[in-house]
Chains A and B, each alone.
Chain A
Amino acid sequence: MELLMRCGLPRPAARWMAAAAYYAGVAAICLPFVFVFYWMLLGAMKTQVQNTASPPIFLFWPTFENFYNVFAGNQFLRYIINSVVVSGGATLLALLLGLPAAHVIARYRQRGIALGILVARMAPHLSYVVPFFILFQRLEWIDTYAAIILSHLVITLPIVVWVMIGAFEDVPLELEEAARIDGCSRWQVFTRIALPVCRTSLATATILSFIFSWNNFLFALILTGPERRTLPVAVFNFISGDEIDWGGLSAAATLITLPILVLILFVQRHIVQGMTAGGLKE
């Protein structure tokens, strides 16, 4: 800015130009991150001819044919239902198991569980897929909801427990003690005091664990077949043919991404905190 003023520009003009340059920089930073989604959306609304044109087309009359084809040609609706049931089920189960555990870890110092959760957070999913495959094959559970939901607990349980330990630790001890003096049992302290106080973290944990279960590809790839296949695997199968259906692929990718975008709008302030839970404080 001093540089601009030294060039002889009056002060307000110099200030305005500096601000404009700054915002141009911000836009340049954001551009690559947005562009991929923009290109996905554009691809979803182009015909196959437009998609394979060279040089690439930026202006065209949008078509919704691809979205129609995705639903008509494939069992896409079934995969959507599968994904919702699996992610919903795995999240619900993780909340049922993880919330009490997180409370106990936060209040009664059960470090063993926390260590087990840390192991799950660090271990590559590949080390789970082999045993799960052998186990569920024995049980003849391959391609059932039970198998895939249980396997997704490896993803959802650590998220719920890690996020909620921090939240439960932050509940003022005086509040819980006051409730105890007023005659609440320990269980009531948990359900009526701790949980309502932590509802923001609860929402973050729920949404994060839903998203990461929704996004998971590996477990469904191995543990499901045509019946219980989830969306990421279903979309992957778009590129297995001889000629890639670029429009269909983009449309399917758009449809998977959309629910996530809606979900993060609710808790976007807390997402990074949630993803690094356990790391930002001792």
Chain B
Amino acid sequence: MPTPSQHVTAGGAATAAPPPAPAGPREFLERHFGRLLSLPAVLSIAGLIIFPLVFNLYMSLQSWFVSSTTPPKFIGLMNYVEIFGKDARFWNATWITVKFTGASVALELALGLAIALYLHREFCGRGLVRTVMLLPMVSTPAAVALIWVIMFNPSLGILNYFLSLLGIPPLLWLGHPRTVLPSLILMDIWKWTPLMVLILHSGLQSLPLSPFEAARIDGASAWQTFRYITLPLLRPSIAVALIFRTMDSLKTFDTIYIMTEGGPNNASEILNLYTFQTGFKYFHMGYASALAVVLVLFVFAVNLALIRVRERSWSY
């Protein structure tokens, strides 16, 4: 702890003009505090976060198979020409990514909003409900994906058993190109609807009460209150929930890789999966890098568009 004699000098130095020359390490730290403290983070961000993206850009101009002994060969933009011009599998993966993210985020938002509205009221055991909601979203994707694989099993899985109780014939779930994507979306809804619920629920609780009282006095119906008061007031929370879910949905890899590896017939191959297979199944590193660059640009474009929309018209 500082002594009273340091009191005057240290306090004075902060407000008065800085002394012309640093006298020792301590003064040096004081003067360049901001830069020194952020230096480790700047270096690690540059090395671990920015450099890999730039390296991808460089690798994407090469043709290189890891398995071969020949060194990388510079081929200019040929990888990109191939991706956009001839690669049907890339366009298929893009379309599946759009369907997967669009459907799961939209359904999670709708379901999350409904549940949040239902829970928006005083009742015993709210803490317990919150804990229950936290479980799916923090649980290890690899672990819960495997449990879902067990539940989706066509012959022995519990889901077909439930369907049979309802008199519905069994489904192949992950095993059929038509049902695989809805099955994966179902699992994603299970894992991530709770995040929507919790964000929107805390949003609901922070809303001012007076507009609702005014609406009640004016005799607004429940639907009118929801449509013209709750929904507009809740827009900032909805925007946050939407942006964060879209961001993370576009990063989905673990669950789909574990449950289907992109199959059957590439019917669940999102862009992440395709990039992975190109790099680590076919060892075509140059092409995988080009795909990764396209993927990053695609993700950034979607996210920035969402953030822009939010700033323009969705905030107050």
| Chain A residues with a Cβ under 8 A of chain B | 22-23, 25-26, 29-30, 32-34, 36-37, 39-40, 43, 51-56, 96-98, 100-101, 103-105, 107-108, 110, 112-113, 116-117, 119-135, 150-151, 153-154, 157, 161, 180-187, 190, 211, 214-218, 222, 231-233, 235-236, 238-239, 244, 246, 249-250, 252-254, 256-257, 260-261, 264-265, 268, 271-272, 275-276, 279-280, 282
Contact = CB atoms under 8 A, between A and B. Distances in A.
Interface stretch (B80-88, B115-123, B209-217): B115-123
B139 interface: yes
17 contacts: A37-B139, A101-B40, A130-B285, A131-B59, A131-B289, A157-B49, A183-B6, A235-B143, A236-B258, A249-B150, A254-B143, A257-B140, A260-B138, A268-B131, A268-B134, A275-B244, A279-B244
A195 to B, nearest CB: 13
A127 B196 CA distance: 27
Contacts of B139: 37, 215, 257, 260
Given A119-B50, A279-B240, A161 B41 contact: yes
Contacts of B241: 276
Contacts of B34: 104, 107-108, 110
Nearest to B43: A97
Contacts of A280: 240
A268 B158 CA distance: 30
Contact of A33 (B118, B133, B202): B133
A124 B247 CA distance: 9
B37 A124 contact: no
A211 B138 contact: yes
B29 interface: yes
Given A110-B38, A124-B299, A131-B51, A186 B30 contact: yes
Nearest to A109: B34
A contacts with B: majority SS? helix
Nearest to A207: B138
A29 B198 CA distance: 13
Contact of A98 (B41, B125, B140): B41
A124 B48 contact: no
A216 B149 CA distance: 19
B272 interface: yes
B103 to A, nearest CB: 18
Contacts of B133: 30, 33
Nearest to A215: B140
A100 B123 contact: no
Given A180-B11, A184-B2, A215-B140, A96 B40 contact: yes
B40 A100 contact: yes
